Structure 1
Amino acid sequence: MLAEAGVSDTRFARQVNNRAKVQRRIELGLARTTVGHWRRGMKPRDPMVAELAAAELSALVGYPVPPADLGWRGESYERDDLGLAVADVPDDTLRTLAGLSGRDMRRRDVLHDGAAFAAIAFADPVLSSLTGVIRRIASDVPASPSGGTMIRDMTATFRRLDARFGSSEIRPQVVAFLHDRTRAAVDGPADTDTFSALAELAQFSGWLAQDTSRQALAQRYYIQALTLAEHADDVMMAGRVLSAMSDQAAALGHPRHSLALARAAIDRAARQSAPPVQAMLQDRLAWALARNGDESGCLRALAELERVITREPGDAPSWAGHYNPGDVAECQGHCFMLLGRAVIAEQRLLEARDLQGPARARTRAYAEADLALSYLRRPRPDLDAALEAGYRAVELAGSVSSTRITNKLTELDVAMAGFSKVVAAREWRTRATGVVARPRDQADPAAV
């Protein structure tokens, strides 16, 4: 990190000594050789020295670097809340995001002292978004000639790769790009276009963390993405982030919080959004209502989804351009599965098979797995049809690294286990081994 800051060992030692003199009124006498030892992996013995060195390093790189991020023991073990708070000042949000992405780049776990995802942590950011209390950037600040455009173009490229190959393959590159662009924004004027583009990139970084099972990290990226969107007064991106929060809460078993967040996304952005964005927000709302067993509410959301998707796209942002009738059919199928209406779900998912493009490998794998489940949940299960759809899902999933797909295929695998007396089902269990998550102590009938 000293190399990142462009500071020599000698200069860093001198600046830490000065900080000790000013803040602690002591002569520390730190030598450059000691700093060199730290570079090579040694740790400060004195927690006070660790605190002073980390504080100086934070000042040099422009974002927070606590001692724990360096593997050092500081003077206190306060709760790690980096990224959970909403900053009022735009520059503070940038520094927080730079610190979060910098820590992520160094592959240190964001979790300290048992911290983990907490649905309640979304409460303050959501309330701040809905009430408009987050400070907006002045509209007269000149936009960077290429900053926002370049960030959006790179993010769009990363999204295409994610849809085709999954999250873990590209996440390190995305985080490095986010860190670089955030640090550059700290040094430049705060303009709405750059903040809006960074909000999109931070939201995407949150999704990648979520899909690689780093849930607490994903939550923090989402909170900072929402804050950036509000600084830029980007209503559609704010809605997108709120719906992403809803998706994460649902995936982690918080259906009531998920529904509240999906409704917050509608309240914040639906009236001011282009039709494709409205469709995406209604999609998440329909899922949340289905998970909560509200069939009538879900059907209303699906009807609204069908209505808005037929309208002209208008001035839709590029990140919403992928949403198409195939996504609508998939959403309908997934929702009907959640509502226990497998026959209707089957019809919609078969329709989606013909509508969805081959580049959306993760989306297609998820839909094929749900289609297989729908066949198994018929009054008279159709195992052959389920196996055909299941093998399609496995083939699509083979090129995708995604926790979401692993979890869905594991759900299908559990359902297939109920047919273990059938040879074809046992063969499925063998062929699906590489793409499902089974407990180590679970006996595989195919191996018996």
Structure 2
Amino acid sequence: MRGETVGQMIKRLRVAKGWSQASLAAKTCLAAGVDSGSLTRQDFYRWEAGKRTPREWLPFIAAALEVPLAEMQIAATIKKEDTAPVTLADFLSDTDALQPSQVRQGRRIGATEVADLAARVHSLRLADDVVAGGDLIGRALRDLRSAIKLYRESTYAGDVGRALLVQIGELAQISGWIASDAGRHDEADRIYRIGMSAAKQAEDATLVANLAGSLAYQYSNTGRVTDGLLLARAAWDSVSGDAPAEAKALTLDRLAWAQTKANDSRDAIRTLGQASDALADDANQMPSPNYLYWVNPGELQVMEARVFTELHRPLRAVPQLREVLSRYEVAHVRETALYLSWLAVALADANEPEESAATAERVISLSSDVASERTAARVRVVLDRLEEYRDVPEVRAVLDYAA
């Protein structure tokens, strides 16, 4: 998969540190041991825009940004035209697990079998609302294997085959999500790619984009920030103008999150606005598929609050998170714990350590019996954030309890 250019890398790392181009220029001069005027903001503007390459300055830029020189040297070999355009084809699986068997010994199937599979897929989605990935992964993988075997070994008419592929794509989306929640990210990656291939063969562009957005979301949350941003953009670029409003809003929501993780706050906030506009588009009357049943204004508000938390804007995040939590169903333990974890971080950012500690205690309590790597990861984030306030008795008690 294509990587980022050295200019893109410099900008990403600079923005992550909150530095201006002029500030990085001064720090690079300091690392090089030369006069501060030897580099200017304009130099970095040209490098980040890809107009020039900072060859002799590369070791000192790497030192200033605290990144291995080898990484920057690799990035310096990548040309801008090699990084774009990135399309969904770049993320499709190299192996085709959906290739029909040479000898089909299964019975002939029709619409009834497809409807039964669709019911199982939707049942799995509803189960995921209240059951964590660690407890659902076995069922999800069994269902996916059975569905693929049904497609490969049975005989059927062309329209039934296409409908089967759509259901395999939908099943791969929820199974990948469950695998990711269970912390099995490599497996989730493979499952999502199988789903994308199935949806592509079925010519269901909306489903392909949904699967791509799910995989991009995993990448963004597991350290593959550049891959997440590239894939989220490719997913949005693939969404057709007549796609359902919920599909557009969800794809934009995931792009906003990828932009947030890439420290592109301006684009992230703009994309959030586009997502809300897309969902509210009364002119779009396309029916929404079942797998988008949960996409509504409340869920967009959740993402907006999370983005503002990640961007350290607690005055925006805290009220939204409190409003969301006030109406959330208590049966959704995992989601409640996740949203509370964002609230705990936002409260810490707002210099409210006592209230953050109380919220963190609830997060830990709710997460203790949930087989979800997502909640476990969020607990670690909250505890790390509270370390700054260890001298506060309420915070120290929570940290000691967690330890």
The residue number in structure 2 matching 1:217 is: 187
The one-letter code of the counterpart of 2:256 is A
Question: Residue 146 of structure 1: SS of its match in structure 2?
Answer: helix
Report % sequence identity.
Answer: 20
Q: What is the correspondence of 1:94-173 to structure 2 with a 5 Å cutoff?
A: 144-173=110-139
The separation in 1 between residues aligned to 2:138 and 2:94, in whole angstroms, is 24
The residue number in structure 2 matching 1:376 is: 348
Shift of 1:283: 0.8
The separation in 2 between residues aligned to 1:393 and 1:152, in whole angstroms, is 34
Shift of 1:187: 2.1
Shift of 1:165: 2.1
The separation in 2 between residues aligned to 1:257 and 1:91, in whole angstroms, is 25
Inter-CA distance 232–374: structure 2 relative to 1 (3 Å threshold): same
Q: Deviations over 1:347-403 (max 9, x none)?
A: 22122223433343322221111111111112xx11222123223323432442111
Aligned residue among 359, 363, 367 for 1:389: 359
The residue number in structure 2 matching 1:186 is: 152
Q: What is the correspondence of 1:39-438 to structure 2 with a 5 Å cutoff?
A: 84-87=93-96, 91-92=98-99, 144-188=110-154, 189=156, 191-311=161-281, 314-378=286-350, 381-431=351-401, 433=402
Q: Do the aligned partners of 1:266 and 1:281 also contact (CA within 8 Å) in 2? A: yes
Q: Do the aligned partners of 2:341 and 2:359 also contact (CA within 8 Å) in 1? A: yes
Q: Do the aligned partners of 2:354 and 2:395 also contact (CA within 8 Å) in 1? A: no
Q: Deviations over 1:237-260 (max 9, x none)?
A: 101111012112112212121111
Given the two structures, how large is their TM-score scaled by the length of structure 1?
Answer: 0.63
Q: Deviations over 1:108-155 (max 9, x none)?
A: xxxxxxxxxxxxxxxxxxxxxxxxxxxxxxxxxx98222332222212
The separation in 1 between residues aligned to 2:211 and 2:366, in whole angstroms, is 27
The residue number in structure 2 matching 1:125 is: none
Higher-Rg structure is 1
The separation in 1 between residues aligned to 2:270 and 2:180, in whole angstroms, is 29
Question: Residue 134 of structure 2: SS of its match in structure 1?
Answer: coil
What RMSD, in angstroms, separates the aligned Cα atoms of the two structures? 2.3
The one-letter code of the counterpart of 2:207 is M
The one-letter code of the counterpart of 1:164 is V
The residue number in structure 1 matching 2:23 is: none
Could you tell me which runs of 5 or more consecutive residues in structure 2 were left unpaired when the two chains were aligned.
Answer: 1-91, 102-107
Number of residue pairs aligned between Structure 1 and Structure 2: 300
The residue number in structure 2 matching 1:80 is: none
Q: Deviations over 1:391-432 (max 9, x none)?
A: 33234324421111111111101122333233322332354x
The one-letter code of the counterpart of 1:361 is V
Could you tell me which runs of 5 or more consecutive residues in structure 1 were left unpaired when the two chains were aligned.
Answer: 1-82, 96-141, 434-443
- My pick for the range that moved more, 177-186 or 224-233, is 177-186
The separation in 2 between residues aligned to 1:419 and 1:247, in whole angstroms, is 31
Question: Residue 322 of structure 1: SS of its match in structure 2?
Answer: coil
Q: Do the aligned partners of 1:149 and 1:197 also contact (CA within 8 Å) in 2? A: no
Given the two structures, how large is their TM-score scaled by the length of structure 2?
Answer: 0.69
The separation in 2 between residues aligned to 1:325 and 1:391, in whole angstroms, is 29
Q: Do the aligned partners of 1:326 and 1:355 also contact (CA within 8 Å) in 2? A: no
Inter-CA distance 254–185: structure 2 relative to 1 (3 Å threshold): same
